[in-house]
Amino acid sequence: MKIKSLIKYFRLILLLLFSFMLSCGGDDDINVVIVDDEGEIPISVDFDITVSETNTFEISVNNTSTGITGLNSYWQFTENGESVPDGAGPERHVYSVSGDYLVTLTVEAPDGDIAVSKTVIIVGDDDSPALKNAAKGFSVGMAVRSDRLTGSHNAVLVREFNSLTAEFEMKMDQIYKTEGSLDFTASDAIVDYGVANNMDIHGHTLVWHNSIPVWMNNFSGTDEEFETLVKDYITTVMQRYAGKVRSWDVVNEAIEDGTNNLRNSIFRIRMGANYIEKCYQYARDADPNAILFYNDYNVTFDSGKQAAMFAIVDDLKSKNLIDGVGAQMHISYNFPRRAQIQSVVDGTVSRGLKMHFAELDIRVNPNNDITSLTEQRAIAQQNKAKEVAEIYNAIPDENKFALTLWGMRDSESWLPAFWGQPDWGLFYNDDFTPKKAHTGLIEGFR
Ligand code: XIL
């Protein structure tokens, strides 16, 4: 008895509430009723929009609808724009230019879709020194780690970047630590973050002599079994992220310094001299929509290495297995020269391929002659950054792709550990404020 009267009481409250909502319902707020065995269940579709205080181009939308549990819903951030699934919690969207935008939330209700739209006015500072706003026609990327995606890292990422690369967590020795079991924990975290923030994701890297799991180096099976392992790995990873990761470095750094021959990696030993072609074929088959890159370092100033790279690239291109060239930009404030950087661009453009300026950092202490970042070196770094950005900017639109920075703060750079001496090769200070080198990029993009 007691429970029955409670239910009655609760229903009455619901009905009263519902009629109140009907009488209040404005343009933004649509109320319909569907009736099922339980009685009347009101569906109310609505949402809030807030504009970010740190980035005036960024909005956050929060679905405040009621009665929609179990129903699919999605967002459109521009009129008839791309549909973005409505996940748990607020979603963010970053516009690139000021304007009035229609934001729509659609709920797929049993009796038909219910859509509610609101207009948001974006008055961004279009001259603001956010890298992604200054770069026209290409993405600006950042190398990230899964434990550096929150707090100030997140604020800088969403303000400045529209592309991500995993600094190491999407490499084979991380994903495939143990034979027979793939671990996507960190890579998923990075991909999910990129997707949630509408960023391009550049996959780095499927096959690299420097990230081979120990067990794979010691693999005792036949060469045929080894090849199947590699094929399955490329296929599984690429298919997992198909539609999310738009591009991949399939093979990274295949050329040996000095000789310019193919490195005698386990891949070459086990799969033969045409292992590169095989890997690109697996990649093409796994995700035909992915943009496939070959990525290597010192291909600006080392003309022999550059020629060896383009020989590999030409062979892949003749089989329609490659779409772009990644020139790793691990450079210094005084080297390589502008014309040397330009040469790899010219080679890429003349082949009709996309150019990725990958892994940009600019050493200021290659000769170990400073113990802190001097004003003079900071300016020299700014000038080199500007030069790199200018060269990239001048690439024909159809060959533009992305310019990716290899880390955020100087203290997070791989450079000091790699070279065994201090350096300040990146674009943000330890307090996350942009360095002069950052200004150099903005200047070069304009
Ligand atoms: C480096 C990362 O920065 C390090 O964190 C990691 O431990 C080793 O790899 N060329 C590449 C990158 O293609 O993957 C390398 O990144 C730097 C050189």
Mind listing the pLDDT tens digit of every residue in the chain (446 residues)?
344 444 444 443 443 343 334 333 334 445 555 555 666 668 999 999 998 876 677 789 999 999 999 999 999 999 998 899 999 889 988 776 667 889 999 999 988 999 999 988 776 665 568 999 999 999 999 999 999 999 999 999 999 999 999 999 999 999 999 999 999 999 999 999 999 999 999 999 999 999 999 999 999 999 999 999 999 999 999 999 999 999 999 999 999 999 999 999 999 999 999 999 999 999 999 999 999 999 999 999 999 999 999 999 999 999 999 999 999 999 999 999 999 999 999 999 999 999 999 999 999 999 999 999 999 999 999 999 999 999 999 999 999 999 999 999 999 999 999 999 999 999 999 999 999 999 999 999 98
What's the CA gap between 85 and 105, in Å, rounded?
10
* Pairing of the two strands 112-122 and 163-166: unpaired
Nearest residue by C-alpha to atom 16 in ligand 1: 167
238 Cα–ligand 1 center, Å: 20
What's the CA gap between 333 and 426, in Å, rounded?
11
Q: What is the chain's length?
A: 446
Cα three-residue angle 341-259-413, rounded to 5 degrees = 50
For residue 347, what are the contacts with CB-CB under 8 A and spacing of at least 6? 306, 310, 325
* DSSP state string for 393-436: HTS-GGGEEEEEES-SBGGG-SHHHHHTS----SSB-TTS-B-H
228 Cα–ligand 1 center, Å: 26
164 Cα–ligand 1 center, Å: 14
Helix 338-350 / helix 375-393 crossing angle, nearest 10 deg: 20
Continuous segment of H or E residues that includes residue 47: strand 47-51
102 Cα–ligand 1 center, Å: 42
Q: Which atom of ligand 1 is nearest to the CA of 330?
A: 18
What's the CA gap between 73 and 88, in Å, rounded?
11
Superfamily of domain 24-122 in CATH is Immunoglobulins (2.60.40.10)
For residue 255, the 8-state DSSP code is B
Q: Which amino acid is at 396?
A: P
Q: 253 an active-site residue?
A: yes
**Best residue among 359, 415, 418 to mutate for probing ligand 1, ranked by most atoms within 8 Å of CB:** 359
pLDDT of residue 32: 55
**Do the Cβ atoms of 422 and 416 come closer than 8 Å?**
yes
pLDDT of residue 14: 41
Continuous segment of H or E residues that includes residue 314: helix 303-318
166 Cα–ligand 1 center, Å: 10
Q: Which atom of ligand 1 is nearest to the CA of 252?
A: 13
346 Cα–ligand 1 center, Å: 26
According to DSSP, the residues that pair with 362 across neighbouring strands are 331
Q: What is the dihedral of CA 31, 35, 39, 45, to 10 degrees?
A: -20
**Best residue among 210, 253, 309, 409 to mutate for probing ligand 1, ranked by most atoms within 8 Å of CB:** 210
pLDDT of residue 10: 44
Nearest residue by C-alpha to atom 8 in ligand 1: 168
Taking the alpha carbons of 396, 55, 153, 60 in that order, is the dihedral positive or negative?
negative
Q: 359 an active-site residue?
A: yes
Closest listed residue to residue 277, CA positions, set 247, 318, 241: 318
* HEC string for 36-98: ECCEEEEEEECEEEEECCCCCCEEEEEECCECCCCCCEEEECCCCCCCEECCCCCEEEECCCC
The pair of structure tokens assigned to 411 is 């203290």
Nearest residue by C-alpha to atom 13 in ligand 1: 252
Residue ranges lining ligand 1, Cβ < 6 Å: 167-168, 252, 328, 359, 414
405 Cα–ligand 1 center, Å: 12
User: Which residue among 58, 227, 359, 387 is the active-site one?
Assistant: 359
The pair of structure tokens assigned to 388 is 């790199």
**Best residue among 167, 205, 331 to mutate for probing ligand 1, ranked by most atoms within 8 Å of CB:** 167
What's the CA gap between 376 and 419, in Å, rounded?
22
| Burial classification of residue 372, based on how many CB atoms lie within 10 Å of its CB (0-12 exposed, 13-18 middle, 19 or more buried) | exposed
Q: Which atom of ligand 1 is nearest to the CA of 407?
A: 3
What's the CA gap between 169 and 204, in Å, rounded?
9
**Best residue among 253, 325, 414 to mutate for probing ligand 1, ranked by most atoms within 8 Å of CB:** 414
Domain boundaries, the chain: 24-122, 131-445
- Neighbour tally for 30: CB within 10 Å: 16
- Neighbour tally for 401: CB within 10 Å: 30
Q: Which atom of ligand 1 is nearest to the CA of 414?
A: 3
Q: What is the CATH number of domain 131-445?
A: 3.20.20.80
The pair of structure tokens assigned to 189 is 């975290």
**Do the Cβ atoms of 305 and 299 come closer than 8 Å?**
yes
User: Which residue among 160, 167, 227, 253 is the active-site one?
Assistant: 253
Alpha helices in 34-162 (DSSP H): 131-134, 151-160
- 24-122 and 131-445, same CATH topology: no
**Do the Cβ atoms of 233 and 176 come closer than 8 Å?**
yes
For residue 232, what are the contacts with CB-CB under 8 A and spacing of at least 6? none
